[in-house]
Every structure is written in structure tokens, then in C-alpha cells.
Chains A and B, each alone.
Chain A
Amino acid sequence: MLEIEIDGKKLTVNQGITIMDAAHTAGTHIPHFCYHKKLSIAANCRMCLVEVEKAPKPLPACATPVTDGMKVHTASPLAKKAQAGVMEFLLINHPLDCPICDQGGECQLQDLAVGYGNSSSRYQEEKRAVVGKDMGPLVSAEEMSRCIHCTRCVRFTEEIGGYQEIGMANRSEFSEILPFLGKTVNSEISGNVIDLCPVGALTSKPFRYATRAWELSRRKSVSPHDGLGSNLIVQVKQNQVMRVLPLENEDINECWIADRDRFSYEGLNSAERLQKPMIKFDGKWHETDWQTALDYVVKGLNGVANDHGKDAIGFLASPHSTTEELYLAQKLARSFGVNNIDAALRRSDKRVAAAQQGALWLGSSIVELLAAKSVLMVGSTQRQEQPLLASRLRQSVKKGMALNVIHTSDDELLTRINAKLIVSPLALVNALAQVLKAAVEIKSASTTLDLSAANVGAEARAIADSLCAAESAAIVLGNVAQHHPAFAELLSLAQEIGRVTGARFGIAAEAANSVGADIAGVNPQRGPLGKTVSAGIGVSEMLAAPRKAYVLLNSEIEADAYNSQQAVAAMKQAATVIALTAFKGEALLDYADVLLPIAPFSETAGSFVNMEGKLQPFNGVVRPLGETRPAWKVLRVLGNMLNLSGFDFNSAEDVRAELLAHGDIAAALNNQLTSVAANVVADGTLVRIGEVPMYQADAICRRAESLQKTAAAAAPVIALNPQDIAKLGLEAGQPAIVSQGEAEVRLQLVADAAVAAGAVRVAAAHPATQALGGLFEPIQIKRG
């Protein structure tokens, strides 16, 4: 510990910290631009110059380590003169166009200029003008004359984004911040540079000229997209969401959010928003009032129940719904006598629900995962599924984590991979079995699983070595594993490897409330917080053996199901499809016969339970649009109208309280399966890799216009390993036809060495591929 003094205040601080850190602990503000606590130190803006006794010149607080007995003056005449001098330099070439600048009102340069600048300038020469740059559909770099060259954006793309996409070219005052020639900024977390930019050089393209910062209210919320549960500040004006910013939460999202979290809000204001209840009769849609619509729903449900029995009804709820909505949906279904309810819509393996003993979750807190010395990611297209978690894992790798990968494609993870096995989806189980077999050998342990078909390769051994040697290790199953028909076997193997090596295991929950859905009891086998219920069937069976009536909560099943072909067919044959939805999507209009407008996350109170099992409540940030109502209210009224008891809630909090009265969330989290089993024989059939593209994950981001213009949202292609292309006599760069069942889809064929041999990568959940079948099922391909 060192004794120092800042502005006369005595402090005891740790060795190795900087003057800036020390000042922060003392509550002293030192002006700065280039310094950012999450980025490397550049010390280039020089705004934080302070006087240090015995130093011959002012020193930058951000880069100067404290020494014992150091006496710092942050506002002495010398320090102030240095700071004012820097401010003058920053302003001489700055256009001072605050009245037309989007950053106005929340600009660090503007703020600090008030304290350190002069009212007029001594600079009488011509100002520098910098040509605007194209950084893609999300980040506007039109007014680069405003740039003060702090290089925060440069450091962000390199250090946090994982790949340098922005650089500073040229020298002296001709220096310019720009993306690499002919490139744009494509990082899945690129929007953070907008927050980082201390001036109006990099601004939000969708938000451009929409409003002034001071006209916005700041409301807290939680991301409704992936399972990380990023905390958000949603900014609203005149009852409309205008933009989304990160709310700092060191344990979850630090001070960042993914582009999906940031720019999806455009979907909330989409023209496709359903504003009034609608009923289809005579083949036409008619807007109606709530009473009529709800009467219709009650009549429909009772009719099907009477004619075909309660088992002919299925409830399919999106895991992007709030915990309260999910809890009420299952309460309504089960009180009514329907046991068929599920939220794991893209899960194809029904065995998991039968064997699980609690809600599937990460297996540890996010912070614990990031602190693990060895991590094995199984079946995860990390940067698409959980963009921010992928970035945080990269930071952990820099601090010494060994990251291992078993996956179906060798995607660029922008970090060092300790060992990897890239195999066809039909060999995933075998690959994981190899790791188990190696771990059993290393630990001289035993397992009841038959691993004779697994031949341990060098990479599998390296993975096992890494897991066994690490003092803390974790195995995480991603979306590909969770959607996979052998999810139960992958989970079983993870459980066994965990048992043998001592590693924790779990899933990176796909959606914002995947864990919450399990907790709320939206599971065909388990009630709220694991309460015993009469078992029903899950989504895969509900669609394979079609029901007469479906109730869809927040779901566009044509994009949300494992097998969209089968799902759409099931919907079309049903007597009634009741959709509680925020959007009137084209497919819904085709197969549903009643649409009830419900509020998206921004217009209702609720909560999400993130992948680590943390329940994060939030309030609505704007009033429901049109005649939209929060889904919990709709479900409550439906309960009353169906004459069910226990539907007297007055608020979402009431609903949550009833759920939580069933027990403790932490105690209900459990990844252990009752029994483990695995057929580890690898299969050589040509099989599809059907991942959900980042910006097709949920109904809101599907309608975010700017996200849909990004490179990540480009139209799906058929990607095949070049060797397979040659073997199959196909030609890359030409269209090809893929088919599953009856349906054929014609897309461009692309050679991609990252794709595992024997696999055909065709993205799912996209209108262009919705005609296809199961995500990881056999697929045929021919010249098109």
C-alpha cells in the first residue's frame, strides 16, 4: 500500500494503480477523453495532465503510476494551465457545430469546454475539414471533422471487438480515423463505439437527427434477446422508444451491449406492429375490439376441448416472453386442463424434458464462467448466439483462460483457441465422447457409458488435458447443441465429463428468458419451480402430431421452430390458431385466425431470468401502443372468462410473487439428468447445419431495419466444405438446390472451408429458408 496525496487529501492506495484510478477512489474528477477504464491506456489526448510535486512537467493522470509519497495537484495553476492549453488545441480544428450535432447535450468535449475552454478562440487560421466515412448501416461517421483523435474506437475494435476494424491513418493534423479501405465496420458489438466516442464524430445512424438528447427520458430495462440479460437504458420521447444504451452491470454486460440489444428497438416502432385485435372470417381479416376477440378465443378453446378433448390443444410460448407471461400461460393452460405447453421451441430432443431435474442454466454465474481456467464450448456459434458473452470470453482468454471448442463449423472466434474439434452435426456426440474417454483415461476413472465407438484424437485429448489440468473448468452447450436431436446425449456426456474432471457444465441459454420459462413451468413435464404436474407433450410432438388448436404466445412459429416446414403445416391444419403477438407478420396472417395485440418488453412490466439464473425485473418504458395490452393482463382476463380460479392479479408483481412463492430460483436450477445415455456412433449422412442468424433470433430484431442492412443479416447461402463440393460434383459461386422432405430451396452455393465435412450449412429462421425442415436433419443438395 502506498500513501499519496491528491489535492491535499491523504489516500492509501494499492501499488501499480494510476493517478486517475487513485483520484477516482478519492472522488476527484480529472478531465479526460482518451482514457476509458475498459480500454488500454493511450495517454494521447493529454487532457488529464496534472501537477505532480517534484516532477519537472505536468504528467498524464491516466498513465502515470502512483509512487509512495506522491503529491498530486489536479487543479493547481500549473495543472489548470496545462488542461486549458489542451482544451484550446482540441477546439481549434473542431467545427463547433454543436447546434446541428447529434452529440450535443451529451458531448464530453462540450461539457469539458465549459470548464476548461475560452469563450472565444485565438485560432484565426483555416480549420481542418475531414471527409465523412462509411462505417456501415449502424455507425454514422459522416462528420469526422469533429473527431478529436482519442482513438477509443480504434482500441475498442481491436481490444473488445476482437478485430481491428478502425484505424488512424496519416500523420499530424492530417490524421484521420477511418475503417480499413473499402471496408465497413461489421463487428457484432460495433455500436459501442458510438458510446465511446466523446464527441459527435461517431453517432448512431438509425438515431441520427431523431431528437435532442435532453428531450429523452432514461428508463432502465433488460435486453429481451439473448440469454446474457444485458442491462439497458431505454430512452423514450413522446411515448416512443428512441434509442437504447447500455446500463452498466459489471457482472453481466460491463458497460457494453451487443448491436442486437442496441438497434433492435427499431422493430418496436415497426409498421408491422399489431395495434388492434383481429379476427379472420370468410378468409379475411377484420379489426375488432378486445371483448369480441376474447369471446372468440374462449369459444374456440371450449369448442376444440369439447369436440376433440383438451389434449388436442397445444400452447407454444416464446422464451423471449416475460416470466410473468410464461407463468400465467402455463397456469391458464393447466387450469383449463391442457398439459401440452412448451417454450423450448427450437429444441428437437424430447428426452431432455423427461430427464431434467430442474431448470437448465449456465451451471455457474457469468463471472465464475469467465474466471474459469479452461472452458469447452460445445455446439455454439458464439458470436452470433451470444455476441457479448463471446467478447467477454475473449477477454478471459487474454487473461489466461484456455478456450476449447467442439463445433460444426470452424468459425473465426477472434481469439486463441486451445484445441478444437470441428465435426459434422452427426459426429458431435462422438466428438464429446472422445473427450470423455480421454478424461476417463487421464483421471483413471470409469463411466457407465459405452465409449467403444469413440477413438480419441489428438485434439480431443488436448481438450481433456485442458479440462483436467485446470483448477476451475466449465463445459457450456450452445444453441447448436441445444437444438440438436441428440441434445440429451450431449448433455449426458457433459455431465459425465463434469463428474470425471470436476468441471461445471451447463447451457448458454438461448433466449432472454429460456431459464425463466423453465422456472415458470412452461415445460411439458414440470410445473413452476419444479412443481409436479400432469405431464403433457412438448413442442416437437405437438408439431409432429398436429393439434386442433394452438395458442401462440409471442411466437412466430415459422421462424421459431426446429422444423419450420412441419410447424407451418401443423398450424395450417389446425381448427384455430390463437396468436398473442406484438406483430402481424405475414405468416401469422396466413395461418392464425385470431390475433391479440400484446405488449413487447418495452410496454409491460415483467422480468427475465438470464442464463445464470438471475431474475431481473423491469417496468414498461412506454405505454402500450394502440390497443395493445400487456400479455399478463390478457391471460388474466382469459382466465376469468374461462371461469378459472386464481386469476385475480392486479399487477405483474402480483404474478411474480405467486410464482416465487413456490420456492427459490437458485434451488430450482439443475443441469443433472436423471440418467445418462449416449449412442456415440458417428453417422456419415449429409446433414444440415441450420443455425438461427443473429438478427432473426426473435420477432423484434427481425423488424429492426438497420440491423437487417448489416452484413450479418445478408440473405442465406448454402455453405459447403470445398472438398464436399468437389465430391458432390457441385460448383461454388453458382446456385444450388437443397431439399428436406418435399420442399426445395434454391440459394447461392458458397465454398467455405470452415464448414465441417459432410455438413451443409443453411441458415434457418429466415424467410428464404423457412420451407426447409429440421435444423440438424439430413438434407439433399443438387445443382440448381
Chain B
Amino acid sequence: MAVFVNGVIFEGVDTAAPDCWRLEAYMARGGYQALKKILDNKIPQEDVIAEVKNSGLRGRGGAGFPTGLKWSFMPRSFPGDKYVVCNTDEGEPGTFKDRDIIVYNPHALIEGMIIAGYAMGCKAGYNYIHGEIFEAYELFEEALDEARKAGLLGQNILGTDFSFDLFAHHGYGAYICGEETALLESLEGKKGQPRFKPPFPASFGLYGKPTTINNTESFASVPFIIRDGGQKFLEAGKPNNGGTKLFSISGHVNRPGNYEIPLGTPFATLLEMAGGMKDGKKLKAVIPGGSSAPVLPGEVMMELTMDYDSISKAGSMLGSGAVIVMNEDVCMVKALERLAYFYHEESCGQCTPCREGTGWLYKVIHRIANGEGRDGDLELLESVGNNMAGRTICALADAAVFPVRSFTKHFRNEFEHLITHKKALVDHKWC
């Protein structure tokens, strides 16, 4: 299902070749040259970080925080252990890009993490892999073995005095463990629940030590940035939105899959790459950045370009780049019910508003979807949502509320119709 257009991570990767993920294949594509360049030239840590800053790389996990800036927060002179952690706990509905990175090009991630470890003076790194992609985890362990055997990990990497260890850890599939501090808790062997911040991981992270956590795609972009220069990466995208980005397209398109394209590519172009709408149906709505991002009507989407700023201006988020395409046969109440169920199921249960609110939202939407809606339900949903958003330790409550707000805003008539007539406006068709 994987489809790649050109981009920095999958440049030259023949995903059809069974050994494309192996070290040998990666080397042949110019892999580990960035690391060699750093070690051979003894490039200072701050120069590496500066290069990443120059690239304009923004966190690919969803929040879009500038990666180089994040790296600069690490107290490099801190005397104790420091860690670099990769978040491959890809649990956002609609997202499946990180899985493909570790399945088809794991060494890009490994190299990126080694460089990050070098730049921030970390002695070890961990890759936390989502529990539901176990084969990907096993494959990644094999890739790590290859790297260790080739002297790319462990003591005295490539004969220099730089040492760095990297370990893989698989979770058990809880969505909340994708939240960076819950991920750290889980990595420490505790129940995955977000920590209150401050302190932030950069000062109090894994085992209480300074820690930087980045998304898989962010790390995997680093080798290119170091090898070819931050400027080249930046130029691949557009100002303030540097580089290329993976988009996971799912839903009612002919060729769902991952597409690595320059940021700033029009949505219409992306949709065309994905083979256009399935069965020629009409585009109704798009969630442009994973289930937590507000939904946008199809006609709004068709005018947008795929980058952080453009999507944000339209009232949604680029998020993790999970583009969920819905056609005219989708009942938006039904779709929202499914999303609300997900958040109800996945709230960690720690904070009162989220623990209680996600359940309340789901139960009301479920009622409406089943023709048992009441007058005032939409106002109730809005009010409950307002009491949840921004009132909790992490952003899961907000993530649960955004779809409710956007669905009931853009497709209010469908909800009202169901409440009034006890019957859906759109006859929902499962595809």
C-alpha cells in the first residue's frame, strides 16, 4: 500500500525490494554519510544543532515545534546521563507513516538518533514503538543489530571516542503513550499517564534526566539535513515549513498510502496522486492531520496547500499528516460517534474532565446517532467540551473536543436533522 513520491526520507528507497531496509541497501543510498561527516570532521555539537535549526524542520509528530530549537533546550553541560527518545508510538487514527519508516528505512531513523545523541551529548537512546505493530518492532530490532555489528552503535562509534547506545521498546498499544511524558512513564515501566509540566522533559525526562523526545519522521529527516545541508531541506518545502513531509492518506481515495511530498503542495495535487476519489464520488470532508485535527469541508480543503501555516489558517492542524478523506456517503454523526468512542476508550483516566468528559461526549453522540437525541444536546456537547478543553494535564481532552466542535460546526444540519427527525440525513455506507 505504500506509495512514495520523492522526499528526503524515502529518496531512492525501493519499497518493493524485500531488503530495502537493510544496512547494505541504506549504505548504498548514501546512508551513514552524515554521521561519518560529523565524526570525521569533528563538527561541534552546536553546529549540528544550528544546521537542524537552519533546515526549518518542525516536529512531525503533530505539534510542529521546531526541532532544532527543541534540541537547543537540552542542558548540554549537564553532568549526569541524558537521553534521546524517539516516539514511534503512532496511535493517532489515520496515521501510519512512522511504521513505514521503520519497515522500509529504519537506518535513517537510527542514523538520525545517533546524530541527535551526538548533538545533545546523550549516552543512550530509546525508540518506543507502538504495541500494535509488533512485526515492525521486530524488524527494527534486527536493524539495530546490524548497526551494532557494523560499529555504528555502542562504544567508540566508527573508531572515534563517541559512544552511543540505542534500544527499542514496544508498548502495548495505548494511545496515551504517544504523549511524550506518558511515553516516558511507560518506558520506565509505569502506567502510561502524562506527567504534569513543568518540569519539561528537557530538564526532567526519562528517569528524571534531561531528555529530548522527537517523532520518528523528525529523526529520520536529520541525516539528509546534515549530509546535504539545512538550506537544501528548507528549500524542499516553503519558508517556515521546511522540507518534505509524509502524508498518510486514507479513506475514500483510489490509492491510499504514504506520500512524501514537499510541504506546500496543494491538497488537490495530493488527492490526485492518491488516485482521486474512489468510485468518482464527491469529496465531502477531510480531516487533514489525524483524528484530533478539526475536520474541514471538502470545498475548503481543495483550496488549501499542505503545510502547517495554510491548514492552521483554515482552522485545523497539519498534525501528524494523516489525511482522512470522506465522501458524500459518510454520515458525519456516525463518523463523529466513532471518533468520540476512540477518545472515550483511550483517555488515561487521570484528570477528571477528560476521564468523565470523554465518556459523556460519547454517550450523547451515541444517543443522537441512534435517533435518541434531545433538544439541547448540541449545546450540551459544546458546553461539556468547553469544560474539558484546556483543563487537563495533557492535550487528549482537547483532541477529543476538536472533532466534536468541528463536526457540529461544519455539518450541524446533519446533527439537527437526526435530533429532530430521529433519522439520519445521510444514509451512511460503510466502504
- Name A's B-contacting residues (CB within 8 A): 41-47, 49, 56-58, 60, 63, 65, 82, 85-86, 88-90, 92-93, 122-126, 128, 148-149, 167-168, 170-175
A169: nearest chain-B partner, CB-CB? B191
Return the contact of B360 from the options A49, A60, A125, A171 (Cβ within 8 A): A125
CA distance A709 to B67 in the complex (A): 59
Whether the Cβ atoms of B387 and A173 lie closer than 8 Å is no
A60: nearest chain-B partner, CB-CB? B196
Whether the Cβ atoms of B350 and A86 lie closer than 8 Å is no
List chain B residues, Cβ under 8 A from A122: 380, 383
Whether the Cβ atoms of B347 and A172 lie closer than 8 Å is yes
Whether the Cβ atoms of A63 and B176 lie closer than 8 Å is no
CA distance A126 to B364 in the complex (A): 11
CA distance A308 to B374 in the complex (A): 96
26 CB < 8 A contacts A-B: A42-B196, A44-B350, A44-B351, A45-B352, A46-B353, A46-B392, A57-B390, A82-B387, A85-B388, A85-B391, A88-B387, A89-B352, A89-B356, A89-B360, A90-B356, A92-B356, A93-B356, A122-B380, A124-B374, A125-B363, A149-B349, A171-B174, A171-B176, A171-B348, A172-B345, A175-B355
B425 near A: Cβ within 8 Å?
Answer: no
List chain B residues, Cβ under 8 A from A46: 351-353, 391-392
State which size class the interface on B falls in.
35 or more
Task: For the complex formed, measure the closest distance between the CB of B281 and the CB atoms of chain A, giving whole angstroms.
Answer: 35
Whether the Cβ atoms of B387 and A172 lie closer than 8 Å is no
Task: For the complex formed, measure the closest distance between the CB of B230 and the CB atoms of chain A, giving whole angstroms.
Answer: 31
A126: nearest chain-B partner, CB-CB? B363
List chain A residues, Cβ under 8 A from B354: 172
One digit per residue, 1 when the CB lies within 8 angstroms of any chain A CB and 0 when it does not, for chain B 356-391 equals 111110011001000000100000100100111011
Whether the Cβ atoms of A170 and B349 lie closer than 8 Å is yes
Whether the Cβ atoms of B391 and A82 lie closer than 8 Å is yes
List chain B residues, Cβ under 8 A from A49: 391
CA distance A122 to B364 in the complex (A): 11
Known A46-B392, A93-B356, A173-B358; 19 more pairs at CB < 8 Å: A45-B351, A45-B352, A46-B351, A46-B391, A47-B352, A58-B391, A63-B196, A82-B391, A85-B387, A86-B352, A89-B360, A123-B360, A128-B359, A149-B350, A167-B191, A171-B345, A172-B358, A173-B355, A175-B349
List chain A residues, Cβ under 8 A from B346: 171-172
Whether the Cβ atoms of B364 and A125 lie closer than 8 Å is yes
List chain B residues, Cβ under 8 A from A148: 352
Whether the Cβ atoms of A92 and B360 lie closer than 8 Å is yes
Whether the Cβ atoms of B391 and A86 lie closer than 8 Å is yes
Whether the Cβ atoms of B176 and A173 lie closer than 8 Å is no
Q: Which of B262-296 contact A (CB under 8 A)?
A: none
One digit per residue, 1 when the CB lies within 8 angstroms of any chain A CB and 0 when it does not, for chain B 323-348 equals 00000000000000000000011111
Task: For the complex formed, measure the closest distance between the CB of A612 and the CB atoms of chain B, giving whole angstroms.
Answer: 35
List chain B residues, Cβ under 8 A from A89: 352-353, 355-357, 360, 387
List chain B residues, Cβ under 8 A from A82: 387, 391
List chain A residues, Cβ under 8 A from B198: 65
What are the 9 closest A-B residue pairs judged by CB atoms, nearest first? A85-B387, A175-B349, A57-B390, A89-B356, A172-B347, A125-B363, A173-B359, A43-B196, A44-B350
List chain B residues, Cβ under 8 A from A44: 350-352, 393
A86: nearest chain-B partner, CB-CB? B352
List chain A residues, Cβ under 8 A from B386: 85
A49: nearest chain-B partner, CB-CB? B391
List chain B residues, Cβ under 8 A from A58: 390-391
CA distance A41 to B199 in the complex (A): 12
- A149/B390 contact (C-beta < 8 A), A123-B360, A173-B359 known: no
Task: For the complex formed, measure the closest distance between the CB of A174 and the CB atoms of chain B, giving whole angstroms.
Answer: 7
- A173/B391 contact (C-beta < 8 A), A43-B196, A63-B196, A168-B349 known: no
Whether the Cβ atoms of B353 and A85 lie closer than 8 Å is yes
CA distance A170 to B176 in the complex (A): 12
List chain A residues, Cβ under 8 A from B174: 171
CA distance A65 to B198 in the complex (A): 9
CA distance A75 to B147 in the complex (A): 58
B389: nearest chain-A partner, CB-CB? A57
List chain B residues, Cβ under 8 A from A85: 353, 386-388, 391
CA distance A42 to B392 in the complex (A): 12
Task: For the complex formed, measure the closest distance between the CB of B172 and the CB atoms of chain A, giving whole angstroms.
Answer: 11
CA distance A93 to B351 in the complex (A): 14
List chain A residues, Cβ under 8 A from B387: 82, 85-86, 88-89
List chain A residues, Cβ under 8 A from B392: 46
List chain A residues, Cβ under 8 A from B350: 42, 44, 149
Task: For the complex formed, measure the closest distance between the CB of A94 and the CB atoms of chain B, giving whole angstroms.
Answer: 10
- A172/B355 contact (C-beta < 8 A), A41-B196, A122-B380 known: yes
Return the contact of B349 from the options A60, A123, A125, A171 (Cβ within 8 A): A171
One digit per residue, 1 when the CB lies within 8 angstroms of any chain A CB and 0 when it does not, for chain B 168-205 equals 00000010100000000000000100001010000000
CA distance A168 to B131 in the complex (A): 21
List chain A residues, Cβ under 8 A from B367: 125
List chain A residues, Cβ under 8 A from B352: 44-47, 86, 89-90, 148-149
